[in-house]
Structure 1
């Protein structure tokens, strides 16, 4: 009898584990922002917004290590708030978007760091150069979206990179080489067509 109870518990546990699935969410560009900040000659800390973001997040809170992220950012939407500076950033002095029109990030590993915290490591490709980057990620929430009724998840992330690692070293180090990245995203499972 005791062995039967153990076997039944094992089977139930396996069934529960098997039923848990990762969900792939699509980032909502209206509620996703990627912002870069740097220090300018020690006097100010300006930012640029990278505009519309296209990406997916696959996430399972029961199996965080199986999660993944893929993001593409067209640089045509990059905005500092000053059009003349935007144009300079698009030239070969900086991003050279005629040759390198987008930035991509592809995760290579995800590690749980406790309640609602993760470290996402991945390959950041910018200006034609790929480097590994670590993102410190906070899970803001996972559940059903109040407006759409669809599964949804929200995340914030931060990272620090050196722009010289990507061949973007004009005026460094008087204009800081170190760039702080801040990301926030709301991602949902799109409703089936016709709904």
Structure 2
């Protein structure tokens, strides 16, 4: 009888430790939020933000998770310093008044063992709107150098910049913007 109880306790402890949520810190050196829009019908322009922080929580057994990302709006990088300043102005990011952009998940939907979409709230310029990120790539594996579990993922969403009070020059400069986030996060 003692062996049966011990086996049940060991099974319960093992199941509990396997089902525990895991926390991952976003690696700012391997995370790159980008946005793309059409410029006067000529070309699609792509720009990025250079500073991102946050946390991903994942419970693989329960197939649940949470994502909390903060982007430094002042780190926008267009490749051209004058244009960086222009889109940080009041007509666009207004980074002097709103220095950060945030995404906080409300639900993570799984297909099989991998997240497929992340529903959440995107806040820019003090305006919060629901956004769904579609996960196009997801990997969770030991990092070959750090020897810690690491998440790698890509996600994409389409939004309207006018929804965030950034609609200047629309429709000449497209109102529709594609937001892409490539992220790596290391287990804490």
Aligned residues: 184
> Retained in 2: the 8 A contact 1:117–1:139?
no
CA shift for structure 1 position 115: 5.0
Counterparts in 2 of 1:114-153, with a 5 A limit? 114=112, 116-153=114-151
TM-score in terms of structure 2 length: 0.89
Counterparts in 2 of 1:9-158, with a 5 A limit? 15-20=13-18, 21-65=20-64, 67-114=65-112, 116-158=114-156
> Retained in 2: the 8 A contact 1:117–1:138?
no
Q: Distance in 2 between matches of 1:75 and 1:24?
A: 25
Q: Go from structure 1 to structure 2 and tell me whether the alpha carbon gap of 1:86 and 1:154 turns closer, same or farther (over 3 Å shift).
A: same
Q: Distance in 2 between matches of 1:132 and 1:14?
A: 38
TM-score in terms of structure 1 length: 0.86
CA shift for structure 1 position 122: 0.6
Q: Distance in 2 between matches of 1:155 and 1:25?
A: 12
> Retained in 1: the 8 A contact 2:87–2:93?
yes
Higher strand share: 2
Q: Distance in 2 between matches of 1:132 and 1:38?
A: 20
Q: Distance in 2 between matches of 1:174 and 1:115?
A: 42
Q: Which aligned runs of 4 or more in structure 1 are off by greater than 6 angstroms?
A: 8-13
More off after superposition, 30-39 vs 55-64: 55-64
> Cα deviation per residue 1:87-120 (whole Å; 9 max; x = unaligned)?
1001112111111011011111111134534211
5+ unaligned residues in a row in structure 2: which ranges? none
Q: Distance in 1 between matches of 2:180 and 2:173?
A: 19
Q: Distance in 2 between matches of 1:10 and 1:41?
A: 67
CA shift for structure 1 position 173: 1.3
> Cα deviation per residue 1:125-144 (whole Å; 9 max; x = unaligned)?
00110001001114532122
SS in 2 for 1:137: strand
Q: Distance in 2 between matches of 1:115 and 1:71?
A: 22
More off after superposition, 146-155 vs 157-166: 146-155
